[in-house]
Structure 1
Amino acid sequence: MEVHSLQNQDIDLLNELQPADWDDIRPYFYYYTSSNFCNPIKISDGGKTVAVGTIIKHQDTAWLAHLIVHTEYRNQGLGKMLTNALVDRADPKIFKTIYLDATDMGYPVYKKVGFEIEMDYMHLDGNLLNLNLKNPASVIPFEEKYRSEVMELDRITSGENRELIFRDHLKSSLLYLSDGIVRGAYFPGFFDRYIMADLPEAGTELMKLRMRVKNTTKLPIKNQPGIDFLLNNNYKEVRRSKRMIMGTKREWKAENNFNRISGGLG
């Protein structure tokens, strides 16, 4: 078994590793290979790709994402090998905290490597809904003058400096303003359509926009206003996943996250 960097030409063949209940993984890996803050890798057996994953690096934190082992190669220690190889790509002098979102299958592996549970994400499904906004004038397209407010809101929400990953998505975002202040933001083109807000009404109003085009939601279990809003609109909990951490614990606002970016970014 050998560990190598994943290349663009490898990606189209990843359908052999595609988990049945996940979105197509290939667009994600094209993103990883084209982003200088990501280090996607593969484990090969005689030229065959049998495991893949990536590490996504922010200023001083990192996330592991899309760790997948071929079904024919499971229970052979490849999950642990893959996880360790990714962790080793984060200089501990720089990246004090590493996160990941664990499925039930991956959780025992990550626990053995040294990750701890921080919080659960709740996954809910429902129907597409076309709900009217209470005050349509409160939602506006992104304007450059609000850039610093948006990034500060994400810093408070995530506890991380994630400015690099937002540079291609700010211009397509929608902002929720209250008294001229940014209280929420929705990123309709960013993976799972991230929503953050430090005002519950801002979060639920932006959720209305997302619910018109997406009927699955994933958010931290500590965001009670968001969960209540979904349940009141006939969404149902379908499963949970575990947000796990290795290293320094950080202050972040789970209640501000009304839909995460993705399993690999929180």
Structure 2
Amino acid sequence: MPVKVIFKNKIIGVGALILHQNSAWLGHIIVEQSYRGQGIGYMIVSYLIDLAIKNGVVSVNLIATDLGAPVYKKAGFRIVGSYQFLKRERLWPQQSLPDQLKPSSPSFYEQIHKLDQEISGENRRELIDSHLKQAVIFEHEGMVEGYYFPKLGQGPIYAKTERAGLGLMSLKYSGTDAAILPLDNFVGLQFLVNNGFEVQDTTAIRMTYGEDTIWHPDKIFSRIGGNYG
């Protein structure tokens, strides 16, 4: 649900509300540089919060830059987590992939949905339905322990076990030289550093308005994107 602010027939600000079931995300809150400091960003955020509440949302989340964080704090958001950026500076070492990695199939779709809701704390069925066919899963004795959506956003990896998360990371990061993980995922961060990635100065702040979303950052081995989380 995108919105825009127009002044003298010119777009000077934009923002978007991304609705799930009883949760939502704000994304792409941008104000033209020459119009900053006039409360336009705060106006966009307040409007989108009201729109979310009208749609039955009890928890609104976002990823904040250092520039945007003060605006969100003023609107009532609080910090609930942080993400670390990493970049690969050396060649990825040759390594074998776990046998448990396999393409997804319809028999696993419901398990993926349940695992996604368990880790994210949100009902995101409408978002991920169209990506289930392209998913790669870590399967053990008929149970999905983790999944990777290569075509969704930045390629999220969610896993309830370390072996699943690291196995899926081995697949993804053999061909990707940038990574963003929650700071709480110590295992995933150490795995990347051990395999040629270097920690960058860049971080991002996760913030929430309203009720807390019960999520598990230690089980996120690659985030979905800056505009979704």
Aligned-residue sequence identity (percent) comes to 35
CA distance in 1, matches of 2:137, 2:55: 36
Alignment partner, residue 148 of structure 2: 186
- Superposition TM-score, scaled by structure 2 size: 0.94
Q: Which residue of 2 aligns with 1:78?
A: 40
Residues 1:203 and 2:165 are matched in the alignment: yes
> Residues 213-224 of structure 1 correspond to what in structure 2 (within 5 A)?
213-224=175-186
Alpha-carbon distance in structure 2 between the residues aligned to 1:156 and 1:198: 9
Q: Which residue of 1 aligns with 2:86?
A: 124
What is the distance in 1 between the residues matched to 2:94 and 2:125? 31
Q: CA deviation at 1:253?
A: 1.2
Deviation at 1:250, TM superposition (A): 2.9
Among candidates 214, 218, 222, match of residue 251 of structure 1: 214
Aligned: 1:170 with 2:150? no
Counterpart CA distance in 1 for 2:126 and 2:9 is 34
AA of the residue aligned to 1:234: G
Q: Deviations over 1:155-192 (max 9, x none)?
A: 11101111110011111110111222101100100010
8 A contact 2:92–2:196 mirrored in 1: no
Look up the match of 1:228. 190
Specify the alignment match of 2:225 in structure 1: 262
Cα separation, 2, equivalents of 1:236 and 1:139: 26
Which residue identity is paired with 2:88? G
Determine the structure 2 residue equivalent to 1:113: 75
Q: Quick check: 1:43 aligned with 2:5?
A: yes
How far apart, in 1, do the equivalents of 2:140 and 2:11 lie? 50
- 1:99–1:243 contact (8 Å) kept in structure 2: yes
Q: Structure 1 residue 133: deviation in Å?
A: 3.2
What is the rounded CA distance, in whole Å, between the counterparts of 1:250 and 1:42 in structure 2? 27
8 Å CA contact retained: 1:80, 1:109: yes
In angstroms, what is the RMSD of aligned CA positions? 1.4
Q: Distance in 2 between matches of 1:160 and 1:144?
A: 21
CA contact (8 A) 2:97 2:170 kept: no
Can you list the C-alpha shifts for 1:116-169, whole angstroms capped at 9, x where unaligned?
A: 00011111111463643342x311111000011101110111011111100111
Among 75, 98, 112, the residue aligned to 1:150: 112
Give yes or no for contact 2:93–2:195 (8 Å, CA) kept in 1: no
SS at match of 2:199: strand
Could you give the per-residue CA deviations for residues 220-247 of structure 1, whole angstroms, max 9, x where no partner exists? 1111110110111231222211100001
User: Shift in Å at residue 255 of structure 1?
Assistant: 1.0
Alpha carbons 1:195, 1:257 under 8 Å: kept: yes
Where does the alignment leave 5 or more consecutive residues of structure 2 unmatched?
A: none
Query: 2: distance between equivalents of 1:67 and 1:130?
Result: 39
SS at 2:52's partner residue?
Answer: coil
Residue of structure 2 in register with 1:9 after alignment: none
Letter in 2 for 1:249: D
Determine the C-alpha separation between the residues in 2 that align with 1:177 and 1:93: 37
Report SS of the residue matched to 1:230.
helix
Q: Which amino acid aligns with 1:105?
A: L
Instruction: Tell me the distance in 2 between the aligned counterparts of 1:92 and 1:124.
Output: 38
Assess, with a 3 A threshold, how the Cα gap between structure 1 residues 69 and 213 changes in structure 2: closer, same or farther: farther
Tell me which residue corresponds to 1:6. Answer: none
Instruction: State whether residues 130 and 208 of structure 1, in contact with CA within 8 Å, keep that contact through their aligned partners in structure 2.
Output: no
What is the alpha-carbon distance in structure 2 between the residues aligned to residue 198 and residue 150 of structure 1?
11
